[in-house]
Amino acid sequence: MTDKTRFYAEVGTRIRRQRERRGLTQQALASMVSLSRASLANIERGKQKTLLDTFVDLASALHVAPAKLLIDVETPTEEIVAELLKDRPSAEREWVLAGVRTVRKDK
């Protein structure tokens, strides 16, 4: 299974779980966001990609922030970022690393 396949499968699972928590059928949720029931079923199984505006509409219909439907992505460590940036100018490296430090501190 590729990373993209995993990503869409996990997002679909999160949509399905939220739909079930709200007590909605696939048909009801699909109607709320102008999709067919079959399209929503495919999205929930990770077999169909969705446009960003449709994704936001799904989150809105489910009364959740869109981020709640996305998979968690681990913030890279400072060491990994430093290695990736080793060939960049020192000022640029420090600027990016300062951002990484801030994000990691907020977690």
| pLDDT for the residue 84 | 85
Considering the chain, what percentage of its residues have pLDDT values greater than 90? 62
pLDDT digits (tens, 9 = 90+) for 7-39: 999 999 999 999 999 999 999 999 999 999 999
Does the model's pTM come out above 0.75?
no
- Which of the two residues, 106 and 92, has the higher pLDDT score? 92
- Write down the pLDDT at residue 25: 98
Measured CA to CA, the distance from residue 25 to residue 22 in angstroms comes to 9
The whole-angstrom separation of Cα 52 and Cα 35 is: 14
Rounded Cα gap, residues 11 and 7, in angstroms: 6
Is the CB of residue 48 less than 8 Å from the CB of residue 42? yes
**For the purposes of burial, counting CB atoms within 10 Å of the CB of 79, is it exposed (0-12), middle (13-18) or buried (19 or more)?**
exposed
**Confidence label for 80 from pLDDT (cuts 50, 70 and 90):** confident
Q: Which domains does the chain have, with CATH numbers?
A: 3-69 (1.10.260.40), 74-107 (no CATH)
Average pLDDT, the chain: 89
Per-residue 3-state assignment (H helix, E strand, C coil) for 33-101: CCCCHHHHHHHHCCCCCCCHHHHHHHHHHCCCCHHHHCCCCCCCCHHHHHHHCCCCCHHHHHHHHHHHH
Of 97 and 34, more confident: 34
pLDDT-wise least confident of 7-16, 51-60, 83-92: 83-92
